[in-house]
Amino acid sequence: MSERLVVIGGDATGMAAASQARRLKGPDELEIIAFERGRHTSYSACGIPYWVGGDVAGPEDLVARTPEEHRARDIDLRTGTEVTELDVEGRRVRARELESGGEYWTSYDKLVIATGAAPLRPDLPGIDAPGVHGVQTLDDGERLLATLTRARGKRAVVVGAGYIGVEMAEALIRRGYDVTVVNHAPQPMTTLDADMGALVDEAMRGMGITMVNGTAVTALGTGPDGHVNAVRTDEAEYPADVVVLGLGVRPQTDLARAAGLPLGPSGGLLTDLAMRVRGHEEIYAGGDCVEVLDLLAGRTRHIALGTHANKHGQVIGSNIGGGYATFPGVVGTAVSKVCELEIGRTGLRERDAAAAGYQCVSVTIESTSRAGYYPDAAPMTVKMIAERVTGRLLGTQIVGREGAGKRVDIAAVALTAGMTVEQMTALDLGYAPPFSPVWDPVLVAARKAVKAVRAAG
């Protein structure tokens, strides 16, 4: 008796789940049908800024596995087909072929919901004008590049200064644009504490980017041809030949919501550790459409990140394939790059820690990426947050140049292990002059944090 697995969404989570399930179970045991609205599968949306910036030649480089490759692995992949309804009771989904408009129901024994996230698109005058672009899908990337190629002028405005905003600012700088970033928050990168975000702000200004912080966009102006030509705020107007929206994303869970599946405070699906939707043993969900457990804050949150999406797919596929795997949660690690600036963060910010009920101390130190005497030793600022009394590490943020970003992994592993900053001071980290000062910057921060914990009592 063959079972049928239906997958909704053909990107990282959906196709990783399908592929892993197929690896464990052949077509005679498990039929796999995957529905994907777009034309592409298994691509790296995170790579779009580098494609736009010219570092990656074409969209095909961002595709890990094409529809044809999936089909060759006995996955019945139906692109250009949107799932419009989920009947949980009847264990079936309704699909619509976008081109023909034809609709049909397909039943399932197991279901994977991997519908991803949708970019936030504020309801502003002019938001739908030509020249205003999101960068969530490969198709978005193609449309943006078409606008850039038409080259009306070289003034770009990026709205938002989170990961996508800063990465797109870099991409546009690399393409020779004058870049203005209009940012609602007082600093870029609100995933950092304000003091660390201020370092990013300073560095971006140093790259020639015009930073307009603490300012909301009120409208997008358009020219006589209807194309965008300005970004307006309450105080000013910024001329724009192209506008990129980098306002973050929200879980795309309208289908799940309509079906009555459980959603968390951010609107993401809630799952158990095996990535099954809570209360529904036969429905799995993962990737940008779910909330993940924040192991430090003890609550779920929405974090759209390709690395989690791929892990989710792996876990889901293993479990559907008869194996066993869990996704225990995250500590909130993220790295980003704006030109030469590297930004790493993991764990809780000060305000997260307070909101979660922790009392904490925080310290900030300056160090270098290599021994001070070694060529190209680059300055690096490390902020470390630890729990009062226990000294348990709660978070780490690093802003610097080469060697700063991935250093945050040291803290990510320490957070996962529940280490105290005192334990961290004894960590046996790699040392040689081209790689680190004799005290790694993370150790310097841990030492200072130990003193702060003791002083706070």
Q: Which of residues 276-305 bind a copy of itself (CB under 8 A)?
A: 305
Segment (H or E) for 140? helix 138-150
**Shortest distance, position 264 Cβ to a copy of itself, whole Å:** 18
Strand partners, 13: none
Q: Which is nearer to a copy of itself, 126 or 395 (CB)?
A: 395
- For the chain, the C-alpha Rg in angstroms (whole number) is 23
Considering only CA atoms, which of 273, 302, 4, 256 is closest in space to residue 114? 256
Measured over the CA atoms of residue 12, residue 14, residue 20 and residue 23, the dihedral's sign is negative
Using the contact rule CB under 8 A, the part of the chain among 82-90, 140-148, 176-184, 325-333 near a copy of itself is 325-333
Burial grade of 336 (CB within 10 A; 0-12, 13-18, 19 or more): buried
Task: Confirm if 348 and 387 have CB atoms less than 8 A apart.
Answer: no
Using the contact rule CB under 8 A, the part of the chain among 77-85, 135-143, 308-316, 348-356 near a copy of itself is 308-316
**Shortest distance, position 191 Cβ to a copy of itself, whole Å:** 12
For 236, the token pair is 């000013």
Tell me how far apart the alpha carbons of residues 395 and 388 are, in angstroms, rounded to a whole number: 13
**Shortest distance, position 291 Cβ to a copy of itself, whole Å:** 15
Q: Which is nearer to a copy of itself, 28 or 428 (CB)?
A: 428
Q: Which of residues 210-249 bind a copy of itself (CB under 8 A)?
A: none
Q: Taking CB under 8 A as the rule, does residue 337 contact a copy of itself?
A: yes
Tell me how far apart the alpha carbons of residues 126 and 382 are, in angstroms, rounded to a whole number: 41
Strand partners, 400: 342, 380
Q: Applying CB under 8 A, which of residues 61, 85, 178, 202 lies at the interface with a copy of itself? A: 61
Contacts of residue 195, Cβ cutoff 8 Å, sequence gap at least 6: 364, 383
Q: Taking CB under 8 A as the rule, does residue 409 contact a copy of itself?
A: yes
**Shortest distance, position 22 Cβ to a copy of itself, whole Å:** 17
Instruction: Say whether 339 is catalytic.
Output: no
Strand partners, 159: 182, 245
Q: Applying CB under 8 A, which of residues 235, 426, 455, 457 lies at the interface with a copy of itself? A: 426
Burial grade of 224 (CB within 10 A; 0-12, 13-18, 19 or more): exposed
Q: Taking CB under 8 A as the rule, does residue 104 contact a copy of itself?
A: no
Task: Confirm if 168 and 52 have CB atoms less than 8 A apart.
Answer: yes
Q: Taking CB under 8 A as the rule, does residue 316 contact a copy of itself?
A: no
Q: Taking CB under 8 A as the rule, does residue 413 contact a copy of itself?
A: yes
Tell me how far apart the alpha carbons of residues 311 and 299 are, in angstroms, rounded to a whole number: 19
Q: Classify strands 132-133 and 299-301 as parallel, antiparallel or unpaired.
A: unpaired
**Shortest distance, position 337 Cβ to a copy of itself, whole Å:** 5
Q: Applying CB under 8 A, which of residues 160, 436, 448, 449 lies at the interface with a copy of itself? A: 436
**Shortest distance, position 121 Cβ to a copy of itself, whole Å:** 23
Q: Classify strands 210-212 and 178-182 as parallel, antiparallel or unpaired.
A: parallel
Q: Taking CB under 8 A as the rule, does residue 327 contact a copy of itself?
A: yes
Number of residues that bind a copy of itself (CB under 8 A): 64
CB atoms within 10 A of CB 254: 12
Q: Taking CB under 8 A as the rule, does residue 417 contact a copy of itself?
A: yes
Q: Taking CB under 8 A as the rule, does residue 312 contact a copy of itself?
A: no
Q: Which sequence positions are flagged as catalytic? A: 46
Q: Could you list the residues that contact a copy of itself (CB under 8 A)?
A: 12, 44, 46-47, 50, 55-56, 61-62, 163, 167, 305-308, 310-311, 326-328, 330-337, 342, 344, 346, 371, 373-375, 403, 405-410, 412-414, 416-417, 419, 423, 425-436, 438-440
